[in-house]
A and B are shown apart, each in its own frame.
Chain A
């Protein structure tokens, strides 16, 4: 097998890898806000319950959660296993990453000083206006580096989806490595992941620049 065919075969799997990546971001970023707000709720039951959920999601391996979401319903209730593996994979990835994002958001929101809320109140902002117009822009700017960290990890974590027989790029790489008894597919996979992450880094760098309209 030539290098070109190898790269071509693996690029076909790259679509599946990207699917996990984009769908997970699509669902995990907003879901993280929900988790963060519930976590900061004044109702102690809601707050503690969310804390527990987040601690379980962060405290157990993603691989285990993938297995639980994919095969759990079958083993527990005899439900059939989804033919489209993307669905359980995205569910598991989304809730897992939402847990991490929620803590990043919470850290960001709580880092804003109380004085700003008071100032906003004096200026007559309502609670919602204070959050959206004053707090949120600062929070986004502050949490961007941490969020980039998580997104970079997400790119690499997509390879875990093979645990539930999802055919992504790294799986195809392994198949080729096997049939060709060659190490080359792993090198190609490494280059693919690196390029992917370089793109992520570039985009997030631009986003950070766009957000730095004032210096503190």
Chain B
């Protein structure tokens, strides 16, 4: 036999066929080995156990204690936004809300939300509508009225324990629609796209703890009379040692994208923002609080009623 130097750089005899050791694993068709079935069962059981563990973990874990810093950082008011040129809808809604206030239904609903009841303007003597009483509610006709809400904004609008949308704004809108004989529907908007979605007629109004901004009026949106006095506050962990907004220097602060808090930090409170180490924007305020509790951020910049309701909920 002759010895060749092969490309593989190892000396081997030419006819040393060693092909048999390559087992190409050609399977018999049609049959699943028993071992595979058993293993699948085991994996399924393991996954089920993991899921149970996850649920159990969710149930019993104690949340970190949060507190609101007693410092009002920006006063603003909530209102309802309608498409530009849609004064008629706005007037009907305002008239219906005025009627609810007169009949006491408004107070009845508001009493269910103790965190916000004190700041509701209509219960403190402010007039609701510009042309109060001039409209005949029975002539509102029949139509579908789609309320655009942020589904993660308790206590104004959120998904309730029964899976249906709930909250103060949802209940008031529903009651107003009942008065007008309109069919009430809800559409969960993407908060940072809310006005675009309103323009696209995906909803007929944005009504979910929405702060009235000058830019909205400049852009031509019809804005209802303000119904709620709001302030921006800072929420921190109870044991963080942060006592005022001055202590936020060099800290990481979270805010929800598209909220008035974000607008404020980029506007009037720019100096405060520049003192932060970083301003993180989240897609919902619930995520901001999760980040705070999990220690990823030091403080959350949020509307007062939302903070109050969230903290009350956790107790």
Chain A interface residues (CB < 8 Å from chain B): 42, 44-45, 48-49, 52, 71, 74-83, 85, 114, 117-118, 120-126, 129, 133, 162-163, 165, 167, 171, 174-175, 177-179, 181
Q: Which of B5-35 contact A (CB under 8 A)?
A: 6-8, 10, 12, 16-19, 22-25, 33, 35
Report chain B residues within 8 Å CB of A71. 290, 294
- Find A178's partner among B19, B25, B58, B262 (CB 8 Å cutoff): B262
- Find A181's partner among B10, B57, B219, B252 (CB 8 Å cutoff): B219
Report chain B residues within 8 Å CB of A85. 296
Q: Are A44 and B36 in contact (CB under 8 A)?
A: yes
Number of A-B residue pairs with CB-CB distance less than 8 Å in the complex they form: 106
- Find B19's partner among A45, A118, A126 (CB 8 Å cutoff): A118
* CA–CA, A126 and B12, complex, Å: 11
* CA–CA, A71 and B22, complex, Å: 46
* CA–CA, A44 and B288, complex, Å: 45
Q: In terms of DSSP, what is the predominant structure of the interface of chain B? A: mixed
In this assembly, does B266 line the interface, its C-beta being within 8 Å of a C-beta of chain A?
yes
Q: Are A174 and B192 in contact (CB under 8 A)?
A: yes
Write out, one digit per residue, whether chain B residues 52-88 have a CB within 8 A of any chain A CB (1) or not (0).
0110011001000000000000000000000000000
* CA–CA, A117 and B252, complex, Å: 58
Q: A83-B252, A117-B22 are in contact. Are A175 and B281 (CB under 8 A)?
A: yes
Q: Are A129 and B8 in contact (CB under 8 A)?
A: yes
Q: Are B39 and A162 in contact (CB under 8 A)?
A: no
* CA–CA, A146 and B244, complex, Å: 55
In this assembly, does B291 line the interface, its C-beta being within 8 Å of a C-beta of chain A?
yes
* CA–CA, A133 and B295, complex, Å: 50
Min CB distance A171 to B, Å, is 6
Report chain A residues within 8 Å CB of B35. 44-45
A81-B294, A125-B8 given; 12 more Cβ-contact pairs under 8 Å: A42-B25, A45-B39, A71-B294, A75-B57, A80-B294, A117-B22, A124-B7, A165-B281, A165-B288, A171-B257, A177-B192, A181-B215
Q: Which B residue sits closest to A81, measured CB to CB?
A: B294
- Find B8's partner among A49, A126, A167, A177 (CB 8 Å cutoff): A126
Q: Are A75 and B283 in contact (CB under 8 A)?
A: no
Q: Are A81 and B296 in contact (CB under 8 A)?
A: yes
In this assembly, does B181 line the interface, its C-beta being within 8 Å of a C-beta of chain A?
no
Q: Are A167 and B22 in contact (CB under 8 A)?
A: no
Min CB distance B12 to A, Å, is 4
Q: Which B residue sits closest to A114, measured CB to CB?
A: B24
Report chain A residues within 8 Å CB of B43. 49, 52
The number of chain B residues touching the other chain, given as a range, is: 35 or more
Q: A42-B25, A165-B282, A178-B262 are in contact. Are A124 and B16 (CB under 8 A)?
A: yes
Q: A165-B254, A179-B266 are in contact. Are A76 and B17 (CB under 8 A)?
A: no
Q: A83-B295, A181-B219 are in contact. Are A175 and B6 (CB under 8 A)?
A: no
* CA–CA, A133 and B8, complex, Å: 9
Q: Are A178 and B258 in contact (CB under 8 A)?
A: yes
- Find A122's partner among B17, B58, B293 (CB 8 Å cutoff): B17
Q: A71-B290, A76-B53 are in contact. Are A81 and B6 (CB under 8 A)?
A: no
Q: A42-B23, A76-B54, A181-B215 are in contact. Are A165 and B291 (CB under 8 A)?
A: yes
Q: A81-B296, A123-B8, A124-B12 are in contact. Are A75 and B61 (CB under 8 A)?
A: yes
Q: Are A174 and B257 in contact (CB under 8 A)?
A: yes
Q: Which B residue sits closest to A162, measured CB to CB?
A: B283
Min CB distance A59 to B, Å, is 13
Query: 25 A-B pairs, CB-CB below 8 angstroms?
Result: A42-B23, A44-B33, A44-B35, A52-B43, A71-B294, A75-B54, A79-B294, A80-B295, A81-B295, A81-B296, A118-B19, A121-B17, A123-B8, A124-B4, A126-B10, A163-B283, A167-B281, A171-B257, A174-B192, A174-B281, A177-B192, A178-B258, A178-B262, A178-B263, A181-B215
Report chain B residues within 8 Å CB of A79. 294
Min CB distance B252 to A, Å, is 7
The listed residue with most B CB atoms (<10 A of its CB), out of A74, A77, A120, A178, is: A178
